[in-house]
Amino acid sequence: MSNYASLRQEYKKHQLSEQNALVDPLAQFEVWFHEASESGVLEPNAFTLATVGENGTPSARVLLLKGVDSGGFVFYTNYKSDKAKDIKQFPVGAMVFLWLELERQVRISGPISKVSREESEAYFHTRPRESQIGAWVSPQSQVITSRAVIEENLAAMQEKFKDTEVIPLPENWGGYRLMPVEIEFWQGRPNRLHDRLLYSEHEDGGWAIERLAP
Ligand SMILES: Cc1cc2nc3c(=O)[nH]c(=O)nc-3n(C[C@H](O)[C@H](O)[C@H](O)COP(=O)(O)O)c2cc1C
């Protein structure tokens, strides 16, 4: 068995206090996201999304965040994937961003809903042409017999769309928006005594901020 017990990193780069945290957690997220981007984090928009499936079985995978607005956190995927089946049955999720270079974690949870087809359409057409065709190619999360299935689908779709200027948005592809109900900002501190500030949404739309024990 491998032993990782001797791996030990002290976190001492930053602090997070009630005094320097912004009142609006989405604004606070934007500040940390910007700092992560500026710090050379590879794919700062990568996050883990946890969903709940049949019989309460949890499932988690990494996705890319494509936008944040007053409605929430937007990502794109296949509407027939396993995660989409989970979301259909239990329209809730939890996201985790890890920005190790800054010794920071952000946890976000809340209800998830599909974005409008117009919004998906607008985003879809900003993707490179090959990625747009790619969305037609893969039956995401299904078992396939070999890599050849994907290569053959790709060749067939490239042929199908060879004279098509604007690739249409597939029915089974689009965005979701997670509307935050709770957002926790975690800042690593020395001796494992980290800073944790939890924002919880009030009924009136404002946010309460509480400090959690590390
Ligand atoms: C860095 C990274 C970024 C990813 N981004 C996405 C994404 O934005 N959308 C997506 O559907 N899958 C993305 N994936 C693939 C997912 O992790 C996952 O394999 C896929 O969505 C199928 O998940 P599911 O079977 O749970 O539905 C990404 C994977 C990695 C490692």
CATH number, domain with residue 89: 2.30.110.10
pLDDT at 169: 98
pLDDT at 205: 85
pLDDT at 1: 81
Q: Which residue in 95, 104, 109, 161 sits closest to 134, CA to CA?
A: 161
Could you give the number of structural domains in the chain? 2
30 pLDDT higher than 90: yes
- Ligand 1 neighbours (beta carbon < 6 A): 43, 46, 59, 61-64, 75-78, 81-83, 140-141
153 pLDDT higher than 90: yes
2 pLDDT higher than 90: no
pLDDT at 20: 93
Length of the chain: 214
Residues 178, 111: one domain?
Answer: yes
CA of 167 to the centre of ligand 1 (A): 22
Residues 105, 71: one domain?
Answer: yes
* Percent over 70 (pLDDT), the chain: 100
Residues 162, 57: one domain?
Answer: no
pTM of the model: 0.96
- Residue 83 banded pLDDT, cuts 50, 70, 90: very high
Residues 132, 38: one domain?
Answer: no
Tokens of 76: 């794109």
Q: Each residue of 194-203: pLDDT tens digit?
A: 999 999 999 8
Question: If you average pLDDT over every residue of the chain, what do you get?
Answer: 96
Count the Cβ atoms, other than its own, within 10 Å of residue 198: 17
Q: Examine residue 19 and state whether it is found in any structural domain, yes or no.
A: no
Q: Examine residue 148 and state whether it is found in any structural domain, yes or no.
A: yes
Q: Each residue of 36-65: pLDDT tens digit?
A: 999 999 999 999 999 999 999 999 999 999
Q: Examine residue 192 and state whether it is found in any structural domain, yes or no.
A: yes
CA of 175 to the centre of ligand 1 (A): 13
Atom in ligand 1 nearest the alpha carbon of residue 85: 27
Q: Which residue in 186, 210, 201, 192 sits closest to 16, CA to CA?
A: 186
Residues 119, 135: one domain?
Answer: no
CA distance 166 to 57: 40
What string of DSSP letters covers 4-46? -TT------S----TTTS-SSHHHHHHHHHHHHHHTT-SSTTE
Atom in ligand 1 nearest the alpha carbon of residue 64: 8
Q: Examine residue 6 and state whether it is found in any structural domain, yes or no.
A: no
Residues 177, 152: one domain?
Answer: no
Residues 87, 182: one domain?
Answer: yes
Atom in ligand 1 nearest the alpha carbon of residue 61: 17
CA of 62 to the centre of ligand 1 (A): 5
Which residue CA neighbors atom 30 of ligand 1 most closely? Answer: 62
pLDDT at 85: 98
Instruction: Tell me the catalytic residues.
Output: 192
Q: Each residue of 112-124: pLDDT tens digit?
A: 999 999 999 999 9
CA of 211 to the centre of ligand 1 (A): 32
Domain extent for 176: 25-125+171-211
